[in-house]
């Protein structure tokens, strides 16, 4: 197999304009360039502990679960069917050991997450295990590139009620064939970038060639029922420079609507959609794919649409914890302001929201998107995995009665699921989290996420090493220091979170009782910044030298939060947060308070001995713990919002 070409802007441009039917595409990209996670290392503190647990516990645990649950066995059985049929055997039955046709994707996401771990820290045993997995996956691929084990195991009749008699025909509904492709591509690119090996990437490209033959020539048009193939194709485009994959992503976007089921966002053409609807994971993956295509094609219609949809989501459908998808039925967005405390808030929807939020920032340079990213990361995303790293939540409600088996038939956290999309999604996101810390545009360096870390970025033609020293989120003090071989002039853009300016979210959906207690400062020596620009950042433009230091201080007063009057569930109730962390009451500390006072006394207390080290809130004598850490001390009642007496 030939080695991949060296991808240069010239090559990309040539490919973009050389293919028939692709002339409308142009060489473009996000206006802002993210600094990859491989260039930023978390060194200490909150996220270091989470990443180490992810590396040492969650990754091997998830790999083991994929083996033990039969997900890898599906690939072996598909390969066996092809061998036996090639030998002339016809009358035999194969029973898949797992439940769902999309179970292949759990293996793909696990490979992606493990590859991210390898990118940061070599591990010969892990690399060898992935090599074995990839060989088994490749053996299950049909000669023309098709890779979907549930069909290959049953070539003569559908092996599941979601699967059609013909390839692709039920994908707009529930077959998940293209969904499987999308996660395959993301895994293949991650493994290639981590190891330089083409083994899985070649499987991806063989499969993508099939998609181009079936869809790229215009003969077949379907809207993928569960989106993500669009993002996967964009990743293939980025790593190969082959514009067909970008064109396919656009084809799949444009196949949606103008009439169809809003559950899978098919109710209108994507460029005409105005609100977040339907299955929340599908929706957020779609909006992320639209952002990618908007950036890479320069087609502003997609961007205008997702800006409208974002406004609807952030002002009417976002939970205080950064979760989305209120309805258990359909795992879906609800109506405007339909935000019940027992809302579904799937962990995968939080992951997808973080992807979407980051892309919106890369398109616009506005900090409000990273404000939502941060809120989700510290709350509705992180709640999905236990402190031990081997127990998980699928839904993330804001109230629990202590008994309901609401976690896919489990009371409390579960070790795994029959539908196990969430654990490997958590795993891959935690492993690559540092890729969201920094971004660059021309001679501007954005600092979007505060965590103890060391990173190397290219800005203004210079390599700049940035070190953050902080105990964030328990402390709001952050020191940034810089090391450069030669002085360089550039603009440092420091995100001042909305909560530090008295706004919990970038809309009127929630508000603080006393926003005036919020405060912040940025100092460079004797100088003090006094202005947050309209994009939400403090700008510091100067000639930077090695040894320069910036002191950021974000005040962390505990805040009483109220919901918008249109949210029926929060009427007459309050919640509590400190910095980016939302708090809850849990029976492990005391009976859940029936009511709280109208002006409660709130006192933060560091508890290094509790839940891996957290700061708790004393609320008129009752203890509140960070929401992300609930259900780590047994099964019991929990509540975020409390009525006011």
594-605 tens-digit pLDDT: 999 999 999 999
Maximum Cα–Cα distance for the chain, whole Å?
Answer: 83
CA dist., res. 482 & res. 195, Å (int): 30
Angle (deg, nearest 10), helices 177-195 and 124-139: 140
* Whether the Cβ atoms of residue 438 and residue 455 lie closer than 8 Å to each other: yes
pLDDT at 9: 32
Beta bridge partners of 438: 447
Helix (H) and strand (E) counts for the chain?
Answer: 16, 22
Place of tokens 């950036």: 295
Cα 590 to the center of its chain, rounded Å: 34
pLDDT at 3: 37
What does residue 178 show for φ and ψ, rounded to 5 degrees?
-75, -30
pLDDT at 639: 98
Q: Give me 617's structure tokens.
A: 């809130």
From the list 566, 550, 578, 203, the residue with the least C-alpha distance to 378 is 578
From the list 504, 505, 506, 538, the residue with the least C-alpha distance to 520 is 538
pLDDT at 199: 98
Which DSSP symbol is given to 621? T
Burial 258-267 (b: 16+ CB within 10 A, else e): eeeebbbbbb
Cα dihedral across residues 191, 197, 203, 208: positive or negative: positive
Place of tokens 């030998």: 87
Class of residue 551 by CB neighbours under 10 A (exposed 0-12, middle 13-18, buried 19+):
middle
Angle (deg, nearest 10), helices 59-68 and 104-120: 150
* Whether the Cβ atoms of residue 384 and residue 377 lie closer than 8 Å to each other: no
* Whether the Cβ atoms of residue 452 and residue 45 lie closer than 8 Å to each other: yes
Question: Which positions of the chain have pLDDT values less than 50?
Answer: 1-27
Beta bridge partners of 607: 614
From the list 374, 339, 396, 605, the residue with the least C-alpha distance to 503 is 374
Cα dihedral across residues 230, 234, 235, 240: positive or negative: positive
Beta bridge partners of 394: none
pLDDT at 191: 97
pLDDT at 2: 35
- Coil, strand, or helix at residue 565? coil
Q: Are β-strands 40-42 and 453-459 bridged in parallel, bridged antiparallel, or unpaired? A: antiparallel
| C-beta atoms surrounding 2 within 10 Å | 5
From the list 283, 464, 447, 278, the residue with the least C-alpha distance to 361 is 447
pLDDT at 13: 31
CA dist., res. 37 & res. 58, Å (int): 19
Class of residue 639 by CB neighbours under 10 A (exposed 0-12, middle 13-18, buried 19+):
buried
What does residue 459 show for φ and ψ, rounded to 5 degrees?
-145, 140
pLDDT at 301: 98
What does residue 589 show for φ and ψ, rounded to 5 degrees?
-100, -40
Element of type H or E holding 514 = none
What pTM does this model have?
Answer: 0.95
pLDDT at 156: 82
pLDDT at 8: 33
CA dist., res. 133 & res. 130, Å (int): 5
CA dist., res. 164 & res. 497, Å (int): 48
């Amino acid at each position: 197999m030939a080695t991949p070409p060296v991808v240069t802007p010239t090559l990309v441009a040539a490919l973009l304009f050389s293919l028939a039917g692709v002339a409308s595409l142009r060489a473009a990209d996000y206006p802002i360039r993210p600094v990859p996670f491989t260039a930023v290392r978390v060194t200490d503190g909150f996220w270091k502990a989470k990443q180490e647990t992810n590396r040492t516990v969650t990754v091997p645990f998830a790999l083991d679960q994929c083996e033990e649950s039969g997900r890898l066995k599906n690939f072996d059985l598909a390969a066996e069917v092809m061998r036996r049929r090639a030998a002339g055997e016809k009358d035999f039955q194969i029973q898949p050991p797992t439940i769902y046709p999309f179970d292949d994707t759990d293996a793909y996401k696990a490979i992606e997450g493990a590859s991210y771990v390898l990118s940061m820290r070599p591990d010969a045993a892990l690399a060898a295990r992935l090599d074995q997995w990839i060989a088994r996956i490749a053996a299950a691929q049909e000669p023309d590139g098709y890779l979907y084990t549930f069909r290959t195991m049953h070539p003569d009749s559908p092996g599941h009620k979601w699967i059609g008699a013909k390839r692709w025909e039920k994908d707009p509904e529930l077959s998940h064939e293209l969904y499987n492709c999308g996660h395959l591509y993301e895994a293949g690119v991650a493994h290639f970038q981590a190891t330089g090996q083409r083994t899985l990437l070649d499987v991806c490209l063989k499969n993508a060639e099939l998609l181009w033959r079936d869809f790229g020539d215009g003969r077949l048009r379907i809207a993928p029922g569960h989106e993500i193939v669009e993002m996967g194709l964009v990743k293939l485009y980025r790593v190969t420079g082959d514009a067909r994959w970008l064109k396919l992503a656009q084809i799949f976007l444009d196949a949606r609507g103008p009439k169809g089921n809003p559950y899978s966002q098919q109710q209108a053409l994507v460029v005409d959609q105005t609100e977040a609807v339907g299955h929340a994971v599908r929706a957020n993956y779609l909006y992320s794919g639209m952002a990618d295509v908007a950036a890479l094609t320069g087609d502003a219609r997609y961007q205008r649409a997702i800006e409208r949809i974002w406004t609807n989501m952030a002002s009417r459908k976002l939970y205080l914890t950064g979760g989305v998808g209120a309805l258990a039925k359909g795992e879906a967005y609800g109506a405007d302001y339909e935000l019940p405390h027992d809302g579904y808030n799937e962990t995968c929807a939080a992951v997808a929201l973080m992807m979407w939020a980051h892309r919106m920032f890369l398109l616009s340079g506005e900090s409000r998107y990273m404000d939502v990213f941060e809120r989700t990361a510290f709350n509705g995303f992180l709640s999905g995995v236990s402190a031990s790293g081997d127990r998980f939540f699928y839904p993330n409600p804001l109230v629990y009665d202590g008994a309901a088996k609401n976690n896919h038939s489990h009371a409390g956290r579960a070790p795994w699921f029959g539908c196990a999309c969430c654990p490997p999604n958590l795993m891959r996101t935690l492993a690559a989290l540092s890729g969201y810390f920094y971004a660059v545009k021309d001679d501007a360096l954005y600092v979007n996420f505060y965590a103890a870390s060391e990173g190397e970025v290219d800005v203004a033609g210079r390599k700049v090493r940035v070190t953050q020293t902080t105990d964030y989120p328990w402390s709001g003090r952050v020191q940034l220091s810089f090391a450069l071989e030669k002085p360089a002039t550039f603009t440092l853009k420091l995100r001042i979170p909305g909560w530090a300016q008295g706004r919990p979210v970038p809309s009127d959906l929630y508000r603080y009782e006393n926003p005036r207690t919020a405060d912040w400062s940025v100092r460079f020596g004797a100088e003090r910044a006094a202005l947050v620009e309209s994009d939400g950042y403090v700008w510091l433009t100067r000639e930077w030298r090695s040894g320069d230091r910036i002191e950021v201080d974000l005040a962390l007063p505990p805040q009483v939060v109220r919901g918008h009057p249109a949210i029926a569930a929060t009427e007459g109730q309050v919640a509590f947060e400190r910095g980016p962390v939302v708090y809850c009451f849990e029976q492990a500390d005391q009976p859940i308070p029936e009511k709280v006072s109208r002006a409660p006394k709130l006192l933060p207390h560091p508890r290094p001995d509790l839940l891996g080290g957290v700061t708790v809130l004393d609320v008129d004598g009752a203890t509140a713990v960070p929401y992300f850490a609930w259900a780590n001390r047994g099964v019991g009642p929990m509540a975020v919002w409390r009525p006011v007496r």
